[in-house]
Amino acid sequence: MSAPIVTLITSADLPHLDPDEAGLPDALRERGLEPRIEVWSDPSVDWTKSSLNVMRSVRDYAKDRTAFLEWATSVPRLLNQPSVIRWNSDKHYLRELAKRGLPTIPTTWLEPEEHYSKHQVHTRFPAHGDFVVKPAVSSGGRGTGRYTATDPLSRGEAIRHAKHELDKGRSVMVQRYLSEIDRSGEISLIYLNGVPSYRVDKQAMLHPRFRAGDTVQEEVVVGTATASEAEWRWGEEIRSALHSYIADESGRDELLLYNRVDLVRGGPDDEHEFYVLEVSLIDGSLYLSADPSHMAKFADAVAMRAFW
């Protein structure tokens, strides 16, 4: 009996997967699977030959989201599922999480159809503190910038940044920058097949003059540790809200192969203990190289679904 084929899906600029996942094919072979690596936009690939198609380093999907989603809908046995990918590929999903009671970072949404003038963009920025401008559809931190509200030069840069994205027909997010990120960084909780699996700590990525441009920004993992009871409690609340939305939209829940929940601690003056930064269900790093156990757990999760 031949081994089940598992295709790991990547992008043309990462034809051999992200370096963080370099050991994944070998880990899958050790579990009796036949791994293949294919580029999602390659029209010659026959996706029907795989027992399982696993979305991984598709870091370019935001450049043509429409084509990407059309492709995803056509791929059989795709994880995560196409309906979930559609929802998670536009950060307007944060609105849905907020509606379901989760503490998200306060966000002002600028929509291209409103045709804002520079002055109108200016008036929608915070009056004090630092803030972040980024497109609602982006991957790998592209198009993200951190600005200071009370610095006229920085504020002018932010206006030009937002106008550039809006003029390209992209929705723009304006978010208050939580200073606690600079002090304690970010926390990522990883769920595999719905099970709480591991946690990593990450450095703050957006230094005061951070401007990402069109390049992928690499996250820096500073450590792994067992999540606290409070962290998993918040993670479970986010996971539950996510699954309730999936069930409401599709009429049934979906078991996600992977789910990364990014949190930041609230500061001493904040209303909430934690805030949701984002939920990554498409191409977000799973930090497989940060600890040997991470690679083993993800390979086990893939094997479970391939032999299901």
Q: Domain 179-292 adopts which CATH fold?
A: D-amino Acid Aminotransferase; Chain A, domain 1 (3.30.470)
Q: Name every residue whose Cβ is closer than 8 Å to that of residue 252 and which is 6 or more positions away in sequence.
A: none
Identify the pLDDT of residue 243: 87
pLDDT tier, 211 (very low <50, low <70, confident <90, very high otherwise): low
Can you give the pTM of this predicted structure? 0.90
For residue 221, pLDDT beyond 70:
no
* Tens digits of residue pLDDT in 45-98: 999 999 999 999 999 999 999 999 999 999 999 999 999 999 999 999 999 999
Q: Which fold has domain 107-176?
A: Dna Ligase; domain 1 (3.30.1490)
Element (H, E) at 304: helix 292-306
Q: How confident is the model at residue 239 (pLDDT cuts 50, 70, 90)?
A: confident
| Distance between CA atoms of residues 43 and 204, nearest Å | 38
Q: Where are the domains of the chain?
A: 5-88, 107-176, 179-292
Indicate whether 214 pLDDT > 60: no
Fold agreement between 5-88 and 179-292: no
CA distances from 221 to 206, 209, 252, 262, 268 (A): 14, 21, 35, 13, 24
46-81 b/e with 16+ CB inside 10 Å = b? Answer: ebeebbbbbbbbbbbbbeebeebbebbeebebbbbb
pLDDT tens per residue across span 18-58: 999 999 999 999 999 999 999 999 999 999 999 999 999 99
For domain 5-88, give the fold: Rossmann fold (3.40.50)
Spatial separation of the C-alpha atoms in residues 85 and 79, rounded to whole Å: 9
Q: From start to end of the chain, where are the E strands?
A: 5-10, 34-39, 52-55, 78-79, 107-110, 130-135, 145-148, 172-176, 186-192, 195-202, 221-224, 258-265, 274-280
Q: What is the pLDDT of residue 206?
A: 59
